[in-house]
Amino acid sequence: MYESKRTLALVGPGRAGTTIALALNVSGWHVTGVAGRAPDAPSTTSTAACLDAPPSLVSDIGRGAAVVMIATPDAAIESVATACAASLERDALVFHLAGSRGLDVFDALLEARPDARVGSMHPLQSFASTSAGLGRLPGSWAAVAGDPEVEEIAAELDLRAFRVEDSRRAQYHAAAVVASNHVVALLGQVERMAKAAGVPFDAFAPLVIASVENAFRLRPEGALTGPISRGDLKTVQSHLEALDPGERDAYRALAREAARLAGRRDNALDRLLDDLRHAGDTGPT
Ligand SMILES: NC(=O)c1ccc[n+]([C@@H]2O[C@H](COP(=O)([O-])OP(=O)(O)OC[C@H]3O[C@@H](n4cnc5c(N)ncnc54)[C@H](OP(=O)(O)O)[C@@H]3O)[C@@H](O)[C@H]2O)c1
């Protein structure tokens, strides 16, 4: 039988799982075991050492833990949950960290162990590494679902919890992907365009940071500046003509979004964006 409620087992010793297990460990939780793809996999042994916990097999990971956190890639959650079912302590809580998955991933687990409690906690934060992620946890928001204890764990991590129903999960996760991954992809475009213009990418940092801060302070509609919001079509045209053809689709797509945000129902702008698309992108005209 497990000794304390504040006992945690980790399955999936990657960036998110290690960060959260470490944060809970620092706030007094005892980590009972770490399971990865194999007990001797480098990520399993290094995370286990860092958490002062034994490496374990997934099939044994529930032993002695009041809470099991699954932090594997999303596609593995269901099979991992099923694999650990037999080892779970009575009434254990099992939760995952995925934004894209609901609680239905635990259907097979609950069939095998109807006494288990299930939930999910998706921190709206990007953990590119454990060291960077730890400092960013406090004050971040997190989507929670399922057993109320998940909300208590979020509170211990200083996360601001909100609930998302399974039926709106995909919409929610799509917004998170745009907010994180697509913003980074867009900055990849800025980096390429800066290089083509012979200017340093770093010079854009204050501009990007101010624009993002303004969008949250003034809301996106109030923060929009630039040629689209001013209706300066000549400038938009000169951009499209100067850009590498490979950069035009993203520029156009976001120019349309800017026009939508600015409330510009502008036929001339639509024509400009469409004309250049139909012109075949053969290069500057
Ligand atoms: N990273 C983020 O910014 C972030 C933010 C919020 C939520 N999340 C969620 O957190 C979860 C983990 O994401 P991550 O970015 O931390 O991924 P990650 O860094 O790739 O870590 C995944 C870990 O799971 C292990 N693993 C893979 N398949 C496994 C299996 N079948 N059984 C046991 N362990 C297995 C991997 O082992 P190896 O080390 O051997 O590859 C790795 O240690 C995902 O659900 C993700 O959506 C991530």
State residue 251's pLDDT score: 95
> Is residue 158 domain-shared with residue 42, that is, in the same domain?
yes
Task: CATH number of the domain at 242, please.
Answer: 1.10.1040
Percent of the chain with pLDDT over 70: 95
> Is residue 86 domain-shared with residue 28, that is, in the same domain?
yes
Task: CATH number of the domain at 32, please.
Answer: 3.40.50.720
Report whether pLDDT(58) > 50: yes
15 lines ligand 1 (CB under 6 A): yes
The predicted-structure confidence for 158-183, as pLDDT tens digits, reads as follows 999 999 988 999 999 999 999 999 99
Cα–Cα distance, 65 to 53 (Å, whole number): 12
89 DSSP assignment: P
59 lines ligand 1 (CB under 6 A): no
142 lines ligand 1 (CB under 6 A): no
Residue 265 pLDDT level (bands cut at 50, 70, 90)? confident
Residue 33 phi, psi dihedral angles, 5° rounding: 180, 160
Residue 256 lies in a domain: yes
Residue 102 lies in a domain: yes
Cα–Cα distance, 121 to 101 (Å, whole number): 10
> Is residue 77 domain-shared with residue 176, that is, in the same domain?
no
Mutate to test the pocket of ligand 1, among 97, 105, 130 (most ligand atoms within 8 A of CB): 97
What residues have CB less than 8 Å from 210, skipping those under 6 apart?
none
State residue 166's pLDDT score: 87
> Is residue 55 domain-shared with residue 145, that is, in the same domain?
yes
What residues have CB less than 8 Å from 223, skipping those under 6 apart?
211, 214, 215, 217
State residue 4's pLDDT score: 79
Tokens of 157: 């991590």
Cβ–Cβ under 8 Å, residues 63 and 37: no
Residue 2 lies in a domain: no
Residue 284 lies in a domain: no
20 lines ligand 1 (CB under 6 A): no
Cα–Cα distance, 12 to 9 (Å, whole number): 10
> Is residue 13 domain-shared with residue 39, that is, in the same domain?
yes
Domain final residue, candidates 118, 147, 164: 164
Cα–Cα distance, 151 to 154 (Å, whole number): 5
Distances (CA, A) of 80 to 123, 141, 150, 222: 20, 26, 19, 46
12 lines ligand 1 (CB under 6 A): yes
64 lines ligand 1 (CB under 6 A): no
CA of 123, closest atom in ligand 1: 6
62 lines ligand 1 (CB under 6 A): no
What residues have CB less than 8 Å from 182, skipping those under 6 apart?
none
> Is residue 81 domain-shared with residue 177, that is, in the same domain?
no
Cα–Cα distance, 221 to 224 (Å, whole number): 6
The CA 241 to ligand 1 mean position distance, Å, reads 43
Q: 253 or 165, which is more confident?
A: 253
Average pLDDT over residues 255-276: 85
Task: List the residue whose alpha carbon is closest to atom 20 of ligand 1.
Answer: 14
Residue 243 lies in a domain: yes
Cα–Cα distance, 71 to 92 (Å, whole number): 17
> Is residue 83 domain-shared with residue 47, that is, in the same domain?
yes
Domain final residue, candidates 132, 164, 196: 164
Residue 283 lies in a domain: no
> Is residue 43 domain-shared with residue 154, that is, in the same domain?
yes
Cα–Cα distance, 263 to 88 (Å, whole number): 55
Residue 97 lies in a domain: yes
Can you give the residue range of the structural domain that contains 101?
A: 7-164
101 lines ligand 1 (CB under 6 A): no
Q: SS3 helix, strand, coil % of the chain, rounded to 5?
A: 55, 15, 30
> Is residue 177 domain-shared with residue 248, that is, in the same domain?
yes
State residue 285's pLDDT score: 39
Cβ–Cβ under 8 Å, residues 138 and 118: no
Mutate to test the pocket of ligand 1, among 60, 68, 72, 124 (most ligand atoms within 8 A of CB): 72
> Is residue 134 domain-shared with residue 151, that is, in the same domain?
yes
Taking alpha carbons only, the member of 285, 261, 265 closest to residue 275 is 285
Average pLDDT over residues 26-34: 97
76 lines ligand 1 (CB under 6 A): yes
Burial profile 15-46: b = 16 or more Cβ within 10 angstroms, e = fewer: bbbbbbbbbbbeeebbbbbbbbeebeeebbbe
Residue 283 pLDDT level (bands cut at 50, 70, 90)? very low
> Is residue 23 domain-shared with residue 133, that is, in the same domain?
yes
Domain final residue, candidates 164, 194, 224: 164
17 lines ligand 1 (CB under 6 A): yes
The predicted-structure confidence for 183-235, as pLDDT tens digits, reads as follows 999 999 999 999 999 999 999 999 999 999 999 999 999 999 999 999 999 99
> Is residue 28 domain-shared with residue 154, that is, in the same domain?
yes
Q: Based on the structure, what is the number of domains in the chain?
A: 2
